[in-house]
Amino acid sequence: MSSALRIAAERLTARAAVGLPRPVQRLAFGARIRRDGLVLAPEVQTLVKLERLVRAGGVDAVPLPEARALLRHDAAVAGGRPRAMAEVRPVDAGGVPARLYVPPEAPTPSPLAVWYHGGGHVVGDLDTHDPTCRWFAREAGVRVLAVDYRLAPEHPFPAAVDDALAAFRAAAANADGLGADAARIAVAGDSAGGNLAAVVAQLAAEDELAPAFQLLIYPVCDYTREWPSYAHFATGFFLTRAEMRWYRGHYLPDAAAASDPRASPLARDDLTGLAPAYVATAGFDPLRDEGEAYARRLRAAGVPTTLRRFGGYCHGFASVLGLGERFLGPARETAAGLRWGLAERP
């Protein structure tokens, strides 16, 4: 079976399973999973059980090239068919490869989100997050500039940070060429990309063209410790504690780097003056507690911050966009947060 046929078959199977009537799902996939006071959404539980049937381990259990191929495969299955754009083109963002997405009927100029993809700073690329960028461009009504930052272990910390910051500053300086409103440029990202978005929001806060908004989706915020959610959701919910340790070991060159605010944005002492933020977390996620701690720190520093926990969901919901309507609520709400954050105000 060709790769394309296999992806289509897996997507069809997953869509059929998560679309089953709730009583049938309970019979097929067991009683509702409850942990730490939360109940896993039925459609998520179905997908979790399907993954357990077809996969023995995660990215930490295979060689690095296979880990990267695994994410590309999963992204193609979960992301669905590409959503139409008015324009998609490559961009040189200050020497960093990037890809611009222009949604249908976008005015010129329009808001822009500089997007950093997830993948633990080790896996992921422009193609794995192509469905996510297209989704947020259309749903939020903004242009999206996806950044192809360098990955570890070939390029360990702080290479990704350097690329992320250079790309944001290039986008701000070349807003006209991107059809963007220089006063309405956000930094955005999921997981490791949320980490980079938070770090860029800190490092560029005093730039003449600073970020106007930050969208942080289940971000990595603290490499210095494992928060309680690491123990609550160590296995069984897509992202595991072992995978996070694997990512950390590849990304950081030594233990001391974890305390650098460019690696752990929660480690920065002063968070005053940063761009308004929307922080989205998933209830069944090892990264939940540190993301929420960062949101509370932002609020305490006087930064307007929306914290939204999607209690019944797991890490990765912003990439599960092609498996039916039942999965789309959190992504729609998060996209609405981005739209609101970049809305033109008198």
Tokens of 66: 């296979």
Alpha carbon separation from 20 to 99, 262, 294 (Å, rounded)? 37, 44, 37
Burial of residue 69, with CB atoms counted within 10 A of its CB: 0-12 exposed, 13-18 middle, 19 or more buried: middle
- The active-site residue out of 117, 285, 289, 319 is 285
Torsion of CA 230, 326, 43, 27, to 10 degrees: 160
Q: Under a CB-based contact definition with an 8 Å cutoff, are residues 164 and 199 in contact?
A: yes
Which among 129, 122, 29, 123 is positioned nearest to 79, based on CA atoms? 129
- The amino acid present at 338, given as its one-letter code, is L
The verdict on whether 117 is a catalytic residue reads no
The verdict on whether 190 is a catalytic residue reads no
Q: Report the alpha-carbon angle 21-22-25, nearest 5.
A: 90
- The active-site residue out of 191, 229, 264, 319 is 191
The verdict on whether 285 is a catalytic residue reads yes
Tokens of 286: 């090892």
- The active-site residue out of 121, 129, 232, 315 is 315
Q: Under a CB-based contact definition with an 8 Å cutoff, are residues 211 and 140 in contact?
A: no
Could you give the CA distance from residue 267 to residue 230 in angstroms, rounded to a whole number? 18
Residue 154 has φ and ψ, to the nearest 5°, of: -60, -35
Q: Helix 3-18 to helix 64-79 angle, to the nearest 10 degrees?
A: 50
User: What DSSP letter does each residue of 41-81 carry, written as one string?
Assistant: -HHHHHHHHHHHHH-S--GGGS-HHHHHHHHHHHHHHHH-S
Could you give the CA distance from residue 344 to residue 108 in angstroms, rounded to a whole number? 13
Residues forming the active site: 191, 285, 315
